[in-house]
Amino acid sequence: MIDATMTKRMEEATRLTRAGKLHEAMAILQGAMPGGKGEATGEETPNKTYGGGNTFEGNTFEGSWQVVDEAVTASSLKDEPTAQAAPFSAFGDTRQATTGAYPSGDIDIPAAWRDKWLKFRGAGAQPEQARGATEEAHPGAFTAGRYTNHVGTRDYKLYIPSGHHGQALPLVVMLHGCTQNPDDFAAGTNMNRLAEEQLCCVLYPAQPMTANSSKCWNWFKAEDQQREGGEPSILAGMTRQVIDTHGLDASRVYVAGLSAGAAMATTLAMTYPDLFAAVGVHSGLPHGVAQSLPDALGAMQGGTGPLGGGTSARASGWVSEVPAIIFHGDRDTTVHPSNAERVAAQYAATRREGEATSHGKGNARVTVEQGQVANGHAYTRTTHHDAKGEPRLEQWRVQGAGHAWSGGSTKGSYTDPKGPDATKEMLRFFYHHQQGEINAS
């Protein structure tokens, strides 16, 4: 039972956090005893100061969850908007209702206080992604599964369209953002609905809180940026298993993600170019620009890391020939919009080299289009075409949009229905590409 004094502390911490005063809120929670002593140990709680004057220890504690537990089948894919609360930032700034994913982890609050804080916020009642035995997948169903390799285990959800009758369909791997889970991400992106219409399977790996307390993919850790190592190894292995199990088309495998999921998606494109035929990066960051949480914060602000504030992909040591489509809102206060340019640079560098040496270089070009969604956001689409005139890199800058999936449904978290439909555009772009086209060109 939380006593009156503790309740007042919790109320004040909540108020300060919503006002963007993270340091003050944490001081209240960590100052459980006079002199700043932690209730759990009675010892001084060490702090580290990273950018912006905020004080953190370890990773980040995310104060808002949204879990969608409802099973989805082909017959239940109806878009019925639901209310969406405005989450707040654990990084010290108030977040928009459509904003959302951060690098991850847990602020160093003594365990006893953290439990009370979660109960006070009501988060203790929010279930994590359900973990059960692997379900038998069948057409038109959204089923659960699990994959394990030498690195670790991850649960997943798999959508198989009702039109699947054994033919080798494409596979799209969707990586959710922080605090999300596969059900939430599927609902917000509407990817299952389009998969039903355009006949592809969709794999949604789930990041558990045991791997990251905010359920973020660990894109900013060196051990999770390697081929055959860390989370990329798990995700690639899971993808291959699903392809083999269901007889899918290994030449048409794609990966996309939002925020931390987008950063991990581009890591997969860099480390497994032989597996993924194209990548979709929504509100994400370049591969290899962070090795720690402070690096991640700097990269998210757009001013630090191997690429600095510029777009020199060679400086990062990473470039890729995997075709890429990039979406980013120009009012994103979580992941600075300059990151879209930095992501594009890692893909565009090889485009330019190939165009310069190709006999068909006359067809290589860059086109820029302006557009406007009816009653929604304006946007700019920049497309890099290769020597054959095929689109190899597409960059969408959505005007007035924040940190949210463009054109998504309010049934999921961190979406902006006013933007161009990122899901539809990514699928269109993906379907232009398959493995082997680079060597054949």
Residues identified as active-site? 259
Please give the C-alpha separations between residue 1 and each of 4, 6, 7, 120, 438, in angstroms, as whole numbers. Answer: 10, 10, 10, 10, 63
Phi, psi of 133 (to 5 degrees): -65, 155
| Burial of 50 (C-beta count, 10 Å sphere; 0-12/13-18/19+) | middle
Are the CB atoms for 106 and 340 separated by under 8 Å? no
Amino acid found at 46 = P
Chain centroid offset of residue 394 CA: 18
- CA–CA distance, 35 with 258 (Å, rounded to integer): 41
From 278, 339, 348, select the one nearest 304 (Cα to Cα).
Answer: 339
Amino acid found at 406 = S
Chain centroid offset of residue 194 CA: 19
Are the CB atoms for 172 and 178 separated by under 8 Å? no
Strand partners, 398: 329, 379
SS (H, E, C) 387-423: CCCCEEEEEEEECCCCCCEECCCCCCCCEECCCCCHH
- CA–CA distance, 53 with 107 (Å, rounded to integer): 15
- CA–CA distance, 379 with 397 (Å, rounded to integer): 6
> Could you tell me which residues come within 8 angstroms of residue 132 by beta carbon, excluding any fewer than 6 positions away?
144
- CA–CA distance, 146 with 143 (Å, rounded to integer): 10
- CA–CA distance, 441 with 438 (Å, rounded to integer): 5
Structure tokens at 401: 């949009």
Strand partners, 392: none
| Burial of 49 (C-beta count, 10 Å sphere; 0-12/13-18/19+) | exposed
From 148, 172, 136, select the one nearest 261 (Cα to Cα).
Answer: 172
DSSP-derived secondary structure for 311-378: --HHHHT----S-EEEEEETT-SSS-THHHHHHHHHHHHHHHHHHHH-TTGGG-EEEEEEEE-TTS-E
3-class DSSP state of 48: strand
Continuous H helices in 190-259 = 191-198, 230-246
